Structure formats: structure tokens, C-alpha cells
Amino acid sequence: MNRNLFRLPEETARHLQMKKLCLDYFHHYEKLMKHPSKTHAARARKACILLKQVAHARGIELLDLYAPSRNEGRPDKFPIKHWPKTLAKKQQEKQNG
């Protein structure tokens, strides 16, 4: 798996929206379990549907952080320094023993 980050992670509006929708869903679901009603069920369902849409969009944003196909020509923000040396040591140990 590629461990390179091409952009700095940041707290976006979609992240905050997703956080609020999660809280809304759990709030309405708890109310639904305590006091079953059509209103609480509808509100929990609506929050769940919106959460699905926002989660997909947030996933695309996260993909932009590390996908090489979406960041061609962009330098790594945090290049891996010691990983190739460690990998070479492990390969040598396998060959020797």
C-alpha cells in the first residue's frame, strides 16, 4: 500500500457536516428506541440517508490525499525516509535464515 500523502489533511466542511449528521442520527435513534414514533423514525432515516451521501463525498476528499492517480506531478508532503532500508534488512534476513 502506498503511504505517501500528497496534501495536508484538514478539517473540511464535509467532515463537520458528517460529524453533525452522525450526532443527529444517534440522537433521533435513541429517541426512537425510548419513545417509538413515526416522527423519530423519519428523522433518523433522513439523517442516515444524508450521512450516506456526505460520507461518499468525504471519501472522495480523503482519496485526494493519497491517491497517486489524482496527484500526478505533486510532491509528497511526508516522504518515507527509513522504509526502504528496513525492507532491505527484512529481505536479507529471509535469505540468510
Higher pLDDT, 8 or 24: 24
| In-domain check, residue 63 | yes
Q: Is residue 76 part of a domain?
A: yes
Is 5 part of a structural domain of the chain?
no
Within a domain: residue 4? no
**pLDDT, tens only, 38-64:** 999 999 999 999 999 999 999 888 887
Q: Is residue 81 part of a domain?
A: yes
State how far the Cα of 94 lies from the Cα of 36, in Å rounded to an integer: 61
Both ends of the chain: CA-CA distance in Å?
26
Model confidence at 1, in pLDDT bands (50, 70, 90)?
Answer: very low
Q: What band does 68 get if pLDDT is binned at 50, 70 and 90?
A: confident
Q: Give the DSSP letter string of 64-86.
A: HHH-GGGSTTPPPSS--SSHHHH
How far lies 23's CA from each of 63, 81, 96, in Å?
A: 24, 40, 54
**How many structural domains is the chain composed of?**
1
17 domain residue, yes or no? yes
- 24 touches 47 (CB < 8 A): yes
Q: Which structural domain, as residue segments, surrounds residue 70?
A: 13-96
